[in-house]
Structure 1
Amino acid sequence: MTRLSPRLITTAVIALAGVLCLLAAFLAVGQIESRTAKAVRAALSDKGIAWTEATPDGMLMRLSGTAPDEAARFRALSAAGEVIDASHVLDEITVEAANPLAAPQFSVELLRNASGISVIGLVPSTTDRGRLGRDLGRLARDLSVTDMLESATAPVPEGWEAALAFGINALGRFESAKVSIIPGEVSVSAIAPNPRERNRIARELRAAAPTGLTPVLEISAPRPMIAPFTLRFVLEGGTARFDACAADTPEAATLIAEAARRAGLTGALDCPLGLGVPAPGWGKAAAHGIDALAEIGGGTLAFSDANVTLVAVPGTERARFDRAVAALRTALTAPFELTATLPDPAGADGPDTAEGPREFVATLSPKGKVQLRGRVSDALVQSAAESYARARFGLRNVRSATRLDPGLPEGWPIRVLAGLEALSQLRNGTVIVRADLVRISGVTMDDTAQARVARLLSDRLGEGQSFEIDITYVEPEETPDGRPTPEACVARIGEIIAEEKITFSPGSIRIEGAAVRVVDQIAEVLRSCPDARIEIGGHTDSQGRAALNERLSRERAEAVLTALMARRVLTSNLTARGYGASQPIADNGTEEGREANRRIEFQLVAAEPEDVENEEAEEETDGQD
């Protein structure tokens, strides 16, 4: 048997030990790499980095993948550096190519308030900034225009010019507004003077919007103060109607509408929301009252603040009347108080005399002439009625043929004066005053006149008084095709005012009496020239403080503008301005001069020179087509 030499054995053992050590080292390095890679991947995952891969390479860690941007790449390297030394991290990350520069987003924001107009945004470099400034300057009138626009050279988006023009048009319809303009969309946030004007402007803007443009309208309107807060519902011969309606909340308006339909009302109900309600339960109280009237079968229900008056038709069955009234008294809560009347079928006017019925009659002709006839209680009431009528309708427009009757019932003078005041709200009509009734009928071109007359009579006549209203609203005539020039329109208005001024009672801003017919005539003229830019100027005499005179003149000019709105006149090109006593046309040292200085004037607002040139160019283009 051959024996190995000791030296060979020693060498073999040493070699085997080396191999085992090397194998152990490889295994140890593999475990370290595995644990390190696992720790790095966990750190990346904790930070939400899923797009990179960590690959160990000995004592090094390779990070690979495509980062969305440089910031993401840096976050991945930092996360790995928290696990192993940053010098052992090999960066093999690529970054996505940056997107090409997007086209600029053109937009304009127009802001208008009492201090002026501001324009902010980015417009194409091809925009005519000078023309834009002049358009805004014309809207701002005497106030400032602040231009904070920037421009950029880029293709003009489709619909941009149309959107910009529409936005400026919208801004011109409000005294306070924000108009945001982008291609294809114009957003309008604004305040209108009243709900009716808000609805009218909204309709006009939607109709004027260019094809492909979406108008987003958020137009608010302050609720008017209604005094007295009035509702008057009439059920006669199976036909139901409202002479006046008011509600404090949409829920109250819904309750009133539902009750009215149960009572037989057909068609739409216009019950405007307002301030001044006497109690939170207005809607429920009104609905109970309408239901009671429907139960009775006919008559009139009137709310004037918290005073409720129910008058049945003559001949109503007493038991039926008493049941309905008892149920209504139970349903009404404080502060509402009910006065219910079942008239005598024979009437309560008292016997007529040989000289005629015991009544007072005032008739207003379409030309403004007023005739007074019938009974007054004494000479003092006779004089008061004639003086009141002359103040309302004009000194030379009143003819009186009344007679004295000392036996007239108490409250007759108040009823006579209330009837004359109601008549002054109409274009023409008649008021009849009797012991148990005031009846007014006539014609108006103001669609708010009937509700106004109902509130007036409810307030003046007081609790438990009965009145009837039969007022016809005449829709304004269509504008003729052959429209006059703006100069001709203003000249015609001047002729109307020269013949009869728009007058106001001292300290008042109400349009009534002879002024109603003057405004009617002016409205007819303005409907034929809707594009004329006209200023309504209010003027006073020099008596009183300058600041008060300026405010009063402005409020009177605005009252004329509001009256024209009620007559369906487009008012986007009309402005109201108060001048106080700064522009007298006569000597304020005489009564005649002061009377002449207290006036309303209509002046044509001249167009900008460039506007005239553009209009002429458009006319030439139209002629060539």
Structure 2
Amino acid sequence: MIKDLIKWVAPGLAMALAATTICLTSAAANDGAQRLDPAPLIVAQLQSGGSIVTLDAPRIADYWVSATLQPGGTIVFDGYAPDEATRQALRQFQGADISWLKLGSGAPGNYRPAVDFGLSVLARMSEGRFALRQNVITINGIARSSADYQALRSTISAGAPQGLVLAQAEITAPVAANFTWTATKSAGGAILLSGSVPSPDDEAALLARAGANARTGMTYASGAPNGFSGSAQTALALLQRLSEGRIVLEGAAWTLTGTAKSPADKAAIEAEFTSKQLAAAGWSMAIAAPAATVATTAPVTTPTAPETPPAAEPAAEAPAPDPEQNPVIIDPAYTFSATRAEGQTVLSGQVPTDADLQALATQTGGSIDALSVAAGAPDDFVANAQLGLQQLARMTDGRLNYGADVWSLSGTAPDSVTADAIKAAIAAAANPADWTATIAIPEPVAAPVAAAPATLSAAAAEVAACVAPLADFSARNAILYQSGAAVITAASEPALDELAADLSACPDAVVHIEGHTDADGDDASNLALSVARAEAVIAALVTRGVNPDRLYAVGYGESSPMADNETPAGKRLNRRIVVTVLPEHY
């Protein structure tokens, strides 16, 4: 019977006979040809004759394994395990599902340390995914708690086990059921930051902006509204103009309350609300003017001349000078400047401390290569620099300069309303006499006389109304999913509301919802995931009243990257939903 079966052995399948035990060893064919696997037929024939058959696992050229932690606690293993003993060992983990885990030889030597590392990370997540391809590890997911988030960041910073490369690690803080944030300023000037903050980087930036007297009671959480960091920076700048007060974020609504330092500060806050259209963005305020100071007049008495001149009292000794009362020595050569052009800011000159340097860099996001730390600045230097940089950011181009104890701001504002608001803010400075401001506005351009443009058809005009908003929405990549799944996160609900509103401008146009993934995992799984995610967006839009007949889900998988898949930043850009409106009606 053995001779009859040898003819079925394909190239790459070896057979060995020892007593009554027969071992079959297969090797992957490298010529790309599709072959019928003869092993099942041979095994069936040999076993029917009473032989004991042992099959080695096929050799895998592109070896990979993944573990996906689902919200319910199930860990789904996929890919390959080197042997049945390893496969069964992974099955012992709580919630493990190894149904998709196949046997394959050719595993990297550090397979088990890599899997143990990945599972230890998943143990601190509410959901997430670990993947190993050859010796490269990728991890993403959501931490169980703020403490787990900090522990995971420490683990990631320490790196993967020896011999392994940690190519991607995207860990998100736990989602807050109700994202809130508060900054409270006491009458003594101390500021306490509390509530939720997305990351340690955001926390450090806010503490730097709040100043040296700031303390933190914040915990890490995701689910912040869009633009949280920039709005919180604006909030802290407004809080500086209060003698005491607080700013509160509840959901997407910002509320500022308290007492202004001066009438000029109150006017500056109101001007900021107007110029930045904060009320339209969901902000509200209740700012009290400072209490008026009532001057008291001492009663006037007419002294009577004494009959006998009093004896002269001995002159009091002059008090010894107190070294702690010595004034700060101001360097007359101290300079600082900031130039803004084409949306970029370059800082140069000197600042008092490293902390001040970092705070100004965070405030502007500009270049600080020409900035140095030096003593000799006046006491109000940092406050004036922050004020000037705030106003410079509102200009299309300009320059802030300090020298000879005088601050100057010059440049062009986008319109007269912004120019007036900038001037009002400078006038409200603690010492407005130290400032000069020269703010220009663009000259109005006369529209050229031209022939009347061709009138768009109603259908074309409707489509045109959606093109720009949808392109902007797609560029922001605002829709987020649970890791490795097609489940949209709760934090994306406002983005879906926005998308439905954008689509209402072209209610009859055909719209493609296109799903894209990065290159992690196999092609087929990525294609299926991209389609499922696009379909999830359509389902969410239908619940918001969008007609399903005009919506089409399109999946591209990893086939159309917009960035390099070799870096975490590139992969993040490639995982996206693109919404495209077609020039046709359904």
Structure number with the higher helix fraction is 1
- Whichever of the two has the greater Rg, that structure is 1
TM beyond 0.5? no
Structure number with the higher strand fraction is 2
